[in-house]
Chain A
Amino acid sequence: MMDHFMANDMQEEQISNADMSTIVDDGSAITFNRVSWLPSGVLRNVATSGDYWHKFTVLRGAGYSKLEIMDALLDVVQPQMIAPVMYRREGSSATFFARNCLAAFLKLTRANLQIQVNSSGPFGPSVQTLDIEITLRHTHVQDLRLHLHDHLVACIARRHDKALKALDLSAFHMDPELSEVVFWSLRVPKAFVYVLNMLKVRTSAIRCLYLADNEITELPKFIILSKLEVVDLSSNKISNMNVLKNFNGLNLLEISLDRNPVCAQYHDELSYIQAIKEMVPTIKKIDGVYLTRPEPSLWRRNYVPPGQSECIALVDQFLQHYFTLLDGDDRQRLRGMYHPDALFSLTCNYVPGQSTSSTARLTRYTLESRNLLRLSDYSKSQQLLSQGAEEVLSALCRLPRTEHDPYSFAVDLPYYTQEIAVIVVSGVFREPSMMNENLIRAFSRTFVLHKVASKEYQIVNEMLTVSNASTKQAEESFQYPKPKVSLAKLSFNPAQDLTDADRKQMTRILSRLTEMNQQWAQKCLEQSKWDIKWALVVFTELLKMNKLPGEAFELEEDKVVEKK
């Protein structure tokens, strides 16, 4: 079986007639070394006879470990195939046999039949040059029958865990039983391919392949292992990410590449991960760690510029006010919040693949949608932009009735100065439709506010984006009953700088304005977080809804029972 490998490796060498005459063709052994070497033409002729084992003697090799000698040999011979068998120490030498390794021979002869052995001696790591003597046609195959193929089959069967669908080929050349017979290293490409081809009969049973500690630099194509999902290539000698291309066509999920020289090429985790993902796009776990969502940071609900905490209360109030009126039945009441020259426009987008996608019904928004990418000319862009408070309010009143979910709000304050504030609110709202179902929308509303008085802002620009909500948004919104007077739930509380005296005064003022008694005025203020303007709004709302009982207006003295 191994003979088929060698056919392509024949180096073309000219054989002169003179040389041919010196070949002893009676089947006897020929020994040569660095000093008395054979011309390669002769070598080729003699060495190709597959019926013989050739003996290699590493002079003074006995003082080194088998692994050190083998590594040194493969360093010279790489990437050519050689499968050393019967490794032994004979006196001061190390010996082994091999056959059908012409290409390896040629490489050795070009290296002057010398190998460089890396070893760690008592004085630290060192490199020694050792000579090799080769005896061609040393032993006939009939006298040394080894059945390497069968040994390999048995080895693989031992290392195959059928239940886990895992094949453990780590440190393959050091397999205790196999190495007694042959040194079969997966760092030799042909040796690797050979083993891979042996797996043809069991490809559906291999989901995991462990290849650590094999000094691998190259990989064969793994396409025949169609069910392969997990690969361990740690502790090898891979120096180029390109080798991972050999997993093309597979659905590889996990890979380990740590302790390979290639890792040092990447200075940070992100570029390392990206490089691997480029080669193996299906990968989900690298070096034992699952890849998480690629956000560099957590999603945070709100953002306020650092050192600007005084704006928190203002933003809070503004949003409470705005969304209560927006959800109310008369949007004209928003008038006071807009600057006379305010601008408003909206865009509508469709998000496919969500639970809301098939029943989105965004027509009323798409009619007003101002998308510069879809406009044939800019004159249309003027029409779709509401200019001036009057137009803005008309536009707002044209849009469907809404109910916003304050618990879904995320609020960002990207720009804030004494004169201008930019607020971006995103979240979810629902729209009662004709069919009595609730259409759930995702929105993003950008306000550019201009300060007109010490604590008052007016809207100068407003941009609204509406789309159908995502499946998750639709499922998770409107979980909590909104407080009757809606409050946008923000993660911070407005500053409470009011003294008792302040509060008493506010109560008196509100009581006079509304004709409620002090007790109820206080209740109102408490509910509105001591914002008098807001309390007035609340009062008006409650009055309209007939939610204020008569007792709210009763003078304190008339009460029979003191209510707490």
Chain B
Amino acid sequence: MEQERRTKVEQACRTAEEFIKHYYEGLDRRRNVMSRLYLDTATLLWNGNGIAGKEFIQKFFENLPSTDHIVSSIDSQPLTTGSTCHFPLTIVVSVSGFIAFCQEQPQAFQQQLLITAEGDKWKIVSDCFRFQEP
């Protein structure tokens, strides 16, 4: 039980680091395939604006000006007890860093992702992004 939990925690760390790397690389360099990282029913919250569904999320990213992200920190936890029956293997990831649009001044941001295993791929259930400063 104890060991099982430790393993879950470690797996959450590994998965999170790798996933986050892909995520920001996609956002900065390969925007056009961002939707592959999301579940069909995923939601994205961007500074309080809600976007539901993979297609609309893709469209949102395509309209976003080009970005450069610097990730300062990543933290992750596995969802344990009472994890949803829909998503048995789910991880919550918390990211902080800086984002710069089109060579403007970088701004501090925080982002939380809920990711789950769909088959052999990890996909985003919900994505919540906010600038530190409104």
Binding site for B on A (CB under 8 A): 268, 270, 274, 277, 281, 294-303, 305-306, 339, 341, 343, 345-349, 351, 369-375, 378, 381-382, 385, 387, 410, 412, 414-415, 417, 419-420, 422, 424, 426, 442, 444, 446, 448, 450, 460-461, 463, 465, 467, 470, 472-473
Q: Are A297 and B82 in contact (CB under 8 A)?
A: no
Q: Can you list 19 contacts pairing A with B, beta carbon distance less than 8 Å?
A: A274-B65, A277-B102, A294-B101, A294-B102, A295-B47, A296-B46, A298-B47, A300-B49, A341-B81, A343-B77, A347-B75, A347-B96, A371-B74, A378-B14, A414-B114, A415-B125, A422-B128, A446-B94, A461-B79
Q: Are B47 and A450 in contact (CB under 8 A)?
A: no
For residue A442, which residues in chain B have a CB less than 8 angstroms away from its CB? 108, 132-133
Question: Quick one: given A294-B65, A295-B47, are A414 and B84 in contact (CB under 8 Å)?
Answer: no
Closest 7 CB pairs between A and B? A300-B48, A414-B126, A371-B73, A450-B82, A444-B110, A294-B65, A294-B101
Q: A296-B46, A385-B9 are in contact. List 16 more A-B contacts (CB 8 A).
A: A274-B102, A295-B47, A296-B49, A296-B60, A296-B64, A339-B81, A349-B73, A349-B96, A371-B73, A371-B74, A373-B71, A378-B14, A387-B9, A420-B84, A424-B130, A461-B92
Question: Is B80 in the interface zone, CB < 8 Å from A?
Answer: yes
Q: Are A415 and B43 in contact (CB under 8 A)?
A: yes
**Which residues in window 30-60 of B have CB below 8 A to A?**
43, 45-50, 60
For residue B45, which residues in chain A have a CB less than 8 angstroms away from its CB? 303, 412, 414
Cross-chain contact of A299 among B73, B128, B134 (Cβ < 8 A) = B134
For residue A473, which residues in chain B have a CB less than 8 angstroms away from its CB? 132-133
Q: Are B92 and A448 in contact (CB under 8 A)?
A: yes
B5, closest chain A residue (CB): A387
For residue A306, which residues in chain B have a CB less than 8 angstroms away from its CB? 50
Nearest chain A CB to B130 CB, angstrom units: 6
What's the tally of chain B residues with a CB closer than 8 Å to chain A? 55
Question: Is B24 in the interface zone, CB < 8 Å from A?
Answer: no
Question: Is B118 in the interface zone, CB < 8 Å from A?
Answer: no
Nearest chain A CB to B55 CB, angstrom units: 16
Q: C-beta contact mask, B73-108 vs A, less than 8 Å → 1, else 0?
A: 111111111111100000010101000011110001
Q: Are A420 and B60 in contact (CB under 8 A)?
A: no
Q: Are A446 and B48 in contact (CB under 8 A)?
A: no
Q: Are B77 and A385 in contact (CB under 8 A)?
A: yes
Question: Quick one: given A277-B102, A415-B125, A472-B133, are A297 and B49 in contact (CB under 8 Å)?
Answer: yes
Nearest chain B CB to A339 CB, angstrom units: 6
Q: Are B130 and A460 in contact (CB under 8 A)?
A: no
Question: Quick one: given A299-B131, A300-B49, A372-B16, are A345 and B75 in contact (CB under 8 Å)?
Answer: yes
CA distance A297 to B82 in the complex (A): 35
CA distance A461 to B130 in the complex (A): 20
Question: Quick one: given A299-B48, A343-B80, A373-B73, are A414 and B101 in contact (CB under 8 Å)?
Answer: no
Question: Is B6 in the interface zone, CB < 8 Å from A?
Answer: yes
Q: Are B48 and A410 in contact (CB under 8 A)?
A: yes
Q: Are B92 and A422 in contact (CB under 8 A)?
A: yes
Q: Are B134 and A410 in contact (CB under 8 A)?
A: yes
For residue B78, which residues in chain A have a CB less than 8 angstroms away from its CB? 343
CA distance A374 to B65 in the complex (A): 30
For residue A385, which residues in chain B have a CB less than 8 angstroms away from its CB? 9, 77
For residue A373, which residues in chain B have a CB less than 8 angstroms away from its CB? 17, 71-74
Cross-chain contact of B76 among A341, A348, A372, A465 (Cβ < 8 A) = A372
Cross-chain contact of A415 among B71, B103, B126 (Cβ < 8 A) = B126
Question: Is B10 in the interface zone, CB < 8 Å from A?
Answer: yes
CA distance A419 to B87 in the complex (A): 12
B76, closest chain A residue (CB): A372
CA distance A238 to B42 in the complex (A): 44
Cross-chain contact of A370 among B48, B75, B126, B133 (Cβ < 8 A) = B75
